[in-house]
Amino acid sequence: AWIAIVLGVDHLLDMGRSATNVVGNSVAAAVVAKWEGELDDIPEGDGDAPQTAAA
């Protein structure tokens, strides 16, 4: 009975660890891309307004 409780709680904690890992990897990739100059900033006011497709 105790193993079911432990596994149930560990499943919830594992989801939190996975989410933290994904966020950490995303931030690291963005920082490295910024350092390498491969992350372009979106200039404000340049370009046309987005167009919507006709129905």
Distance CA 33, CA 37 (A): 6
Distance CA 43, CA 36 (A): 19
2 within domain boundaries: yes
47 within domain boundaries: no
* Rounded average pLDDT per 10-residue block, the chain, 55 residues: 87 96 97 89 66 73
Per the structure, the count of domains in the chain is: 1
Instruction: Print the domain residue range for 35.
Output: 1-40
15 within domain boundaries: yes
49 within domain boundaries: no
| pTM recorded for the entire structure | 0.59
50 within domain boundaries: no
What was the pLDDT predicted at 17? 97
Helix ranges, the chain (H): 2-35
6 within domain boundaries: yes
